[in-house]
């Protein structure tokens, strides 16, 4: 009886700890969403259609460059974290962080040269300098900060995660207020605010690691072998949610492109809720796979995607009012795009949860093959939808692209599980 009571007590404590972590992860994302939503009317008052079109264009390339500049080391670290002792974890984390920074700066040079050539021949109407430099350099700094958050998440150190997340929010908002609202620098001010905020926290991460300087080349080599397909696959996300901005430039309608980017930005706040849920439960996918607990895998996947859906439905219902309030009535008509783009959070949430499952099973190369197939289909689909339906076609393209990818991933996982069960049966 005493043993049963003790077990019940330990179980309750474990659930309380989990609930406490969930509340802190969710609170960090909720605070970020609420604070940025609160200042959005001020931003809208100080940015034009052109400013939104420009910032949306350059930030869309984050999807293309972030996985390559971050080397997807976070996925490698997540996969092995629960198999390492504490000393090994420290060694892996420090090595991968330094390698990520080093490779990021080298890649930045080639990216800027390549982008400059691309912009010249494509006759992009937006100026490359200093927007490209500030936007793409921010990716390096943001990758370092995200790696730190990942480390806290895997260690279930929700308190540290919450504290540094709130600090990041405060500094980011202060810089936006300074450059956009006070100095009225428009698109340049918005991009500069992101650049300096990410730089500050990258320096913080570097200072924490400098005293523990470790660089194990064997870890880096092994990580690159595992991650190179994920880097390419990750960059292909651009062809699902970023390439539409480039294609839409051919319509020569900067005003509507600005509205489209406003809708994408505000609908994008739903991603904050999605990330908070994912950050809380994603490690459970890796753990369940490591334990070969299929029932737990199913529960986590179903629970994740159900939680992703709730805020999306609420947003769609209230979209006209939300857009009116958040833009001070200046860009209310963007709600038509926002309603469609919000649905993308459901299909992308489904895809990313299935992608995490593929990575946990060690099918990193399969993730790449899936992305290649999805990219080919998406490019053809976007071209047809944009040429036929314009901006609305682009919005529905984003929703459809991730749904197609989800079907491909689900089909492969189902095939592997059925094949494995048949093999066991024989």
In tens, the pLDDT along 6-22 reads: 544 444 454 566 667 77
Tell me how crowded residue 408 is: count the other CB atoms within 10 A of its CB: 18
> What is the per-residue pLDDT for 377?
87
Burial letters for 45-60: b for 16+ Cβ neighbours within 10 Å, e otherwise?
ebbebbbbbbbbbbbb
Mean pLDDT of 154-168: 88
Q: Which residues contact 29 (CB under 8 A, 6 or more apart)?
A: 165, 272, 273, 275, 276
- 67 or 33, which is more confident? 67
- 3-class SS at 125? coil
- Cα separations in angstroms, 31 against 37, 196, 197, 211: 10, 21, 17, 32
pLDDT at 421 over 60: yes
Mean pLDDT of 204-230: 82
Q: Which of 160-169, 176-185, 235-244 has the lowest mean pLDDT?
A: 235-244
Most confident of 82-86, 243-247, 275-279: 243-247
Sorted by where each begins, the domain ranges of the chain are 1-228, 236-426
- 419 or 392, which is more confident? 392
pLDDT at 277 over 90: no
Query: Taking a C-beta distance cutoff of 8 angstroms, is the pair 264, 86 a contact?
Result: no
CA neighbor of 242 nearest in space, from 404, 125, 402: 402
> What is the per-residue pLDDT for 151?
86
Please report which confidence band the pLDDT of residue 108 belongs to, taking 50, 70 and 90 as the band edges: very high
- 18 or 79, which is more confident? 79
> What is the per-residue pLDDT for 11?
47
What is the distance between the alpha carbons of residues 59 and 271, in angstroms, rounded to a whole number? 15
- Cα separations in angstroms, 367 against 214, 360, 412: 30, 11, 10
> What is the per-residue pLDDT for 336?
92
Mean pLDDT of 46-56: 91
Mean pLDDT value across the chain: 84
pLDDT at 401 over 90: no
Q: Which of 166-170, 236-240, 412-416 has the lowest mean pLDDT?
A: 412-416
Q: Which of 85-89, 167-171, 239-243, 418-422 has the lowest mean pLDDT?
A: 418-422
What is the distance between the alpha carbons of residues 55 and 39, in angstroms, rounded to a whole number? 17
- 382 or 5, which is more confident? 382
pLDDT at 97 over 50: yes
Mean pLDDT of 204-212: 75
pLDDT at 284 over 80: no
∠299-75-68 over CA atoms, to 5°? Answer: 135
């Amino acid at each position: 009886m005493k043993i049963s009571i003790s077990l019940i007590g330990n179980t309750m404590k474990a659930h309380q700890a989990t609930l406490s972590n969930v509340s802190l992860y969710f609170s960090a994302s909720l605070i970020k969403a609420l604070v940025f939503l609160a200042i959005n009317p001020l931003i809208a008052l100080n940015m034009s259609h052109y400013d939104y079109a420009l910032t949306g264009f350059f930030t869309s390339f984050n999807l293309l460059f972030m996985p390559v500049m971050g080397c997807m080391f976070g996925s490698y670290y997540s996969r092995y974290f629960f198999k390492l002792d504490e000393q090994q974890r420290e060694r892996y984390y420090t090595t991968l962080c330094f390698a990520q920074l080093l490779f990021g700066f080298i890649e930045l040079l080639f990216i800027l040269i390549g982008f400059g050539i691309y912009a010249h021949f494509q006759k992009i109407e937006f100026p490359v300098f200093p927007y490209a430099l500030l936007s793409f350099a921010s990716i390096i700094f943001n990758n370092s900060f995200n790696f730190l958050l990942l480390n806290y998440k895997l260690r279930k150190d929700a308190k540290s995660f919450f504290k540094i997340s709130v600090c990041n929010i405060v500094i980011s908002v202060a810089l936006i207020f300074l450059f956009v609202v006070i100095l009225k620098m428009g698109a340049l001010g918005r991009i500069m605010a992101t650049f300096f905020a990410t730089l500050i926290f990258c320096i913080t991460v570097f200072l924490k690691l400098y005293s523990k300087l470790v660089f194990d080349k064997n870890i880096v080599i092994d990580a690159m072998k595992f991650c190179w397909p994920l880097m390419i696959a990750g960059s292909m996300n651009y062809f699902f949610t970023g390439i539409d901005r480039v294609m839409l430039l051919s319509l020569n309608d900067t005003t509507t492109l600005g509205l489209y980017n406003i809708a994408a930005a505000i609908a994008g706040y739903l991603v904050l809720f999605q990330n908070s849920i994912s950050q809380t439960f994603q490690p459970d996918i890796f753990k369940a796979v490591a334990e070969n607990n299929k029932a737990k895998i199913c529960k986590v996947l179903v629970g994740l995607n159900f939680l992703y859906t709730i805020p999306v439905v609420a947003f769609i219902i209230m979209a006209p009012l939300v857009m009116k309030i958040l833009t001070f009535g200046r860009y209310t008509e963007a709600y038509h795009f926002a309603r469609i783009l919000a649905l993308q959070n459901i299909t992308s949430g489904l895809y990313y949860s299935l992608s995490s499952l593929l990575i946990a099973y060690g099918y990193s190369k399969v993730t790449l093959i899936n992305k290649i197939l999805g990219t080919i289909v998406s490019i053809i689909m976007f071209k047809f939808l944009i040429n036929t339906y314009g901006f609305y076609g682009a919005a529905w393209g984003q929703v459809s692209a991730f749904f197609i990818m989800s079907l491909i991933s689900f089909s492969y996982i189902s095939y592997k599980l059925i094949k494995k069960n048949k093999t066991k049966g024989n």
